[in-house]
Structure 1
């Protein structure tokens, strides 16, 4: 069965447009491994909160967590009492389907993929570098609004 040239001409742009749409071909979720390092050694049992503009996830390292992808950055806040703390920001990177979508759908699919996060990925392994805990002799940090000289 052969399609008429007019039918082929009408179907071809639609098929090309759908082929580049990350929202249709990729998941809006991603599984990442979170691990923490303190003084060049992996440290286990650190509580971390991962969050972006579409959700918040809690994990105790090392562990895998499934999060929702976004075009925005992923923020990671970790702490282990008596050991240390960390605060990092990881930017999402556009994947190849997003750029193909921009070219093939004249930009329409790009905006859909940007809003759903399907065209973006975070690194598969998130290694968080911890800062050592402060000595108890130093005391707590100053109150908000206090200027130190």
Structure 2
């Protein structure tokens, strides 16, 4: 009987050793629903500090002062970034999320695709670029805009 238990353990051990590797591809099991991102704002090819930014997707909204780090909830939907500083410069950008290839393969192999469907619904297994850069643009002041649109020649 002792010999039988040793023999079955040796047949079972490769499967037991491979199980964590197979489940490692399953984002539902291994990945956090949150992701830490680093955000930078650029104006005229130089980084701008003290820029207030709001990041949002279908899972929530987050505030960060750029340059800075923020933790967001992963999603399959794009991440919208809206930034402003002193009412003079603004930025509006969107960043798409991508599926983790190893997670997709692991889900298809281990769960016959069910895990991938769960990951698509929850956003686990998808991630945004680690470093985000938004390009700031100067806002025209109302008086400057009025001067540019003024007509020099009278119509009557």
- The whole-number CA distance in structure 2 between the counterparts of 1:15 and 1:43 is 44
User: Is residue 116 from structure 1 mapped to residue 122 from structure 2 by the alignment?
Assistant: yes
How far the C-alpha of 1:19 sits from its partner, in A, is 3.7
Tell which structure's C-alpha radius of gyration is larger: 2
Unmatched runs of 5 consecutive residues or more in structure 2: 1-5, 147-156
Q: Which residue of 2 aligns with 1:77?
A: 82
How many positions carry a matched residue from both structures? 138
Over aligned residue pairs, what C-alpha RMSD do you find? 2.6
Gaps of 5+ in 1: 140-149
- TM-score, normalised by the number of residues in structure 2: 0.76
Of residues 118, 140, 155 in structure 2, which corresponds to 1:134?
140
**Cα offset for 1:117?**
1.5
Q: Give the Å deviation of 1:115.
A: 1.8
Matched with 1:22 is 27
Where 1:112 maps in the other structure, the secondary structure is: helix
Note the C-alpha offset of 1:2: 4.2
Alpha-carbon offset, residue 121 of structure 1: 0.9
The structure where helix makes up a greater share of residues is 2
Deviates more, 1:89-98 or 1:15-24: 15-24
CA contact (8 A) 2:108 2:115 kept: no
Partner SS for 2:64 = strand
Runs of 4+ in 1 over 4 A off after TM superposition: 10-17
Matched, 1:60 2:28: no
Change (3 A) 1:127 1:135: same
Match of 2:102, SS?
helix
SS at match of 2:140: coil
Is residue 32–residue 64 contact of structure 1 (8 Å, CA) maintained in 2? yes
Measure how far apart 1:3 and its partner are: 3.3
